[in-house]
């Protein structure tokens, strides 16, 4: 079978990680099977669709490297096609115009809910040829609607519960369940892989496929993405838009890898997978039905792993945009050294400015921070004077981490912290930072001495 999948987002919000994960699974499945993966923008909801959201979805998928084949399709450009199908259904008596007002329908729904019936509308105006109003499907189905979900197995529905479900607001304003059926069939989508929140739409779509004599795709409904507390992922758990992850300094490859494991498991311990490996290994059989937990700590870890794999030059390029304070040309060469220092422990690029600002401007800190264990001001001062005197004797070309380490450790007492802690704080102004030798190598001799002097001055 020729495999063709799609992601069909509605441009009514920013690209959500749930949609991105669905896109990713469709992409991996298609590519694994040497098939096609397309992007279809479902923009028939004119009131809620916005161009800026389409732009965001497109940019987000591109950023993640979830590349679709061919041109983007927009439902708003296919209105004539839907109209043709609607006219056929109306002419064949399989669809009809419903005259009831929203208020009447709301009233009916309220009563049904109060009486513990699942809400649906079976219209009393099915036979009338009205020519205006909501277009509904005449649902006379008696037999159970069944389909085999690739992830969940056989699923059954009682068709009576669906009522005469709606197809379009008018001939030129189709609604989701109708447009999606026409599109999936005419675009020859072989597999519909989407979130489990669409399971309840599936019987309607199957009935429509049967009514229109269209080919039914294979369905696979992916598990919901849950927060750590097992409730549906929401803003409460952290960012839900792909753009937020980008702005936080997550790398696209890391997010790609992380999302691939949201519901799919490779069947072994390995967690870091390249795109190529994922394409090679992905299969629907290994997608679970139960909710997939979005573990932020794991994402941070994984992002760190990807940061460490990045060639330094690339990492510097990627990091530039995260610095809000101006970096002068002379400081620019320092940026590479500084980022090299942070690369081994960085979790996300947005941490860089705060972690490295002391390289670019004089540190500001509380004198208390200079204190190691029980040291008093005088001993701290003496320790800093010792550090300074060691540094003053170092030749400019001796300002390497290795050499400095050798010189300082030779002079350090039993508790190295007494020499190294005040020194490191004087240089960085921070409780946590790279070690003093690395910092001095980057800052150079003169700047390092100035900072030690500033610390000594604070203790007076
Ligand atoms: N436009 C629908 C959505 O964004 C598509 C659902 C589907 O894949 O059928 O949820």
pLDDT for position 273: 98
Other residues' Cβ atoms within 10 Å of the Cβ of residue 343: 17
Q: Give CA–CA dist 191/72, Å, rounded.
A: 18
221 in contact with ligand 1, CB cutoff 6 A = no
Strand order in the sheet with 4-7: 4-7, 36-41, 73-74
Q: 84: exposed, middle or buried (C-beta count within 10 Å: 0-12, 13-18, 19+)?
A: exposed
**243 CA to centre of ligand 1 in angstroms:** 20
**187 CA to centre of ligand 1 in angstroms:** 15
Q: In sequence order, what are the residues at sequence separation of 6 or more whose Cβ sits closer than 8 angstroms to the Cβ of residue 188?
A: 2, 4, 215
User: Is residue 195 pLDDT above 90, yes or no?
Assistant: yes
Q: Please tell me whether 235 is known to bind a ligand.
A: yes
Confidence class for position 327, pLDDT limits 50, 70, 90 = confident
180 in contact with ligand 1, CB cutoff 6 A = yes
User: Is residue 326 pLDDT above 80, yes or no?
Assistant: no
pLDDT for position 331: 78
Give mean pLDDT, residues 86-115. Answer: 96
Residue whose CA is at the smallest distance from ligand 1 atom 10: 9
Instruction: Point out the ligand 1 atom lying closest to the alpha carbon of residue 6.
Output: 8
Residue tagged 């990492």 (tokens): 315
Instruction: Point out the ligand 1 atom lying closest to the alpha carbon of residue 19.
Output: 4
**56 CA to centre of ligand 1 in angstroms:** 17
pLDDT for position 329: 79
**9 CA to centre of ligand 1 in angstroms:** 6
The hierarchical CATH code for the domain 78-179 is 3.90.800.10
pLDDT for position 332: 79
Q: In sequence order, what are the residues at sequence separation of 6 or more whose Cβ sits closer than 8 angstroms to the Cβ of residue 233?
A: 17, 18, 224, 225, 226, 227, 240, 294
Q: Could you tell me if 204 and 137 are in contact, meaning their C-beta atoms sit under 8 angstroms apart? A: yes
Could you tell me which residue, 235 or 56, shows the higher pLDDT? 56
Torsion, Cα of 260, 264, 270, 271 (10° steps): 30
Please list, residue by residue across 358-372, b when 16 or more beta carbons sit within 10 angstroms of its beta carbon and e when fewer do: bbbeebebeeebbbb
Please report, for the chain, the start and end positions of each structural domain, with discontinuous segments joined by +. Answer: 4-71+225-303, 78-179, 315-459
The backbone region for 429, taken as left when phi is positive above 0, alpha when psi lies in -120 to 50, beta otherwise, is left
% of residues, the chain, pLDDT over 70: 100
Phi, psi of 63, rounded to the nearest 5 degrees: -60, -40
**pLDDT tens by residue, 257-308:** 999 999 999 999 999 999 999 999 999 999 999 999 999 999 999 999 999 9
Confidence class for position 424, pLDDT limits 50, 70, 90 = very high
Q: In sequence order, what are the residues at sequence separation of 6 or more whose Cβ sits closer than 8 angstroms to the Cβ of residue 295?
A: 228
Residues with catalytic roles: 235
Give mean pLDDT, residues 372-391. Answer: 97
57 in contact with ligand 1, CB cutoff 6 A = no
Kindly report the CATH class assigned to 315-459: mainly alpha
Instruction: Point out the ligand 1 atom lying closest to the alpha carbon of residue 194.
Output: 8
Confidence class for position 334, pLDDT limits 50, 70, 90 = confident
Superfamily of domain 4-71+225-303 in the CATH hierarchy:
HUPs (3.40.50.620)
18 in contact with ligand 1, CB cutoff 6 A = no
User: Is residue 325 pLDDT above 80, yes or no?
Assistant: no
Residue 4 tokens, joined = 């063709």
* Mean pLDDT for all residues in the chain: 96
8 in contact with ligand 1, CB cutoff 6 A = yes
């Amino acid at each position: 079978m020729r495999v063709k999948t799609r992601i069909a987002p509605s441009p009514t919000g920013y690209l959500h990680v749930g949609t991105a994960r669905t896109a990713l699974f469709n992409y991996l499945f298609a590519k694994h099977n040497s098939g096609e993966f397309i992007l279809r923008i479902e923009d028939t909801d004119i009131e809620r669709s916005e161009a800026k959201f389409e732009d965001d979805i497109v940019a987000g998928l591109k950023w993640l490297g979830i590349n679709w084949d061919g041109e983007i399709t927009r439902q708003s450009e296919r209105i004539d096609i839907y109209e043709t199908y609607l006219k056929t259904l109306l002419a064949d008596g399989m669809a009809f115009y419903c005259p009831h007002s929203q208020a009447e329908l709301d009233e009916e729904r309220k009563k049904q809910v109060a009486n513990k019936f699942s809400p649906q509308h079976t219209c009393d105006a099915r036979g009338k040829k009205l020519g205006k109003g909501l277009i509904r499907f005449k649902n006379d189905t008696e037999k159970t609607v069944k389909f085999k979900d690739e992830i969940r197995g056989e699923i059954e529905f009682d068709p009576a519960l669906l009522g005469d479900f709606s197809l379009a607001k008018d001939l030129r304003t189709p609604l989701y369940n109708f447009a999606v059926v026409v599109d999936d069939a005419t675009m020859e989508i072989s597999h519909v892989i989407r979130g489990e929140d669409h399971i309840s739409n599936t019987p309607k779509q199957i009935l429509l496929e049967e009514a229109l004599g269209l080919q039914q795709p294979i369905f696979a409904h992916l598990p919901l993405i849950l927060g750590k507390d097992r409730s549906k992922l929401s803003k409460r758990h952290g960012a839900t838009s792909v753009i937020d992850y980008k702005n936080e300094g997550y790398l696209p490859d890391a997010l790609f890898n992380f999302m691939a494991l949201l519901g799919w498991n490779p069947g072994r311990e390995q967690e870091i997978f390249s795109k190529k490996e994922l394409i090679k290994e992905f299969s629907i059989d290994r997608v679970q039905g139960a909710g997939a937990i979005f573990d932020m700590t794991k994402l941070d870890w994984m992002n760190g792993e990807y940061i460490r794999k990045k060639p330094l030059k690339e990492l510097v390029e990627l990091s530039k945009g995260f610095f809000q304070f101006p970096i002068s040309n002379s400081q620019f060469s320092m940026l590479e050294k500084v980022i090299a220092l942070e690369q081994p422990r960085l979790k996300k690029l947005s941490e860089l400015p705060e972690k490295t600002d002391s390289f670019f401007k004089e540190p500001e800190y509380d004198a208390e921070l200079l204190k190691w264990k029980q040291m008093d001001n005088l001993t701290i001062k003496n320790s800093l004077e010792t550090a300074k005197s060691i540094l003053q004797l170092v030749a400019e070309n001796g300002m390497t981490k290795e050499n400095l380490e050798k010189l300082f450790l030779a002079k350090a007492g039993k508790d190295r912290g007494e020499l190294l802690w005040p020194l490191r704080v004087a240089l960085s102004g921070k409780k946590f930072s790279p070690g003093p030798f690395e910092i001095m190598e980057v800052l150079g001799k003169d700047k390092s001495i100035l900072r030690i002097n500033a610390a000594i001055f604070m203790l007076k």
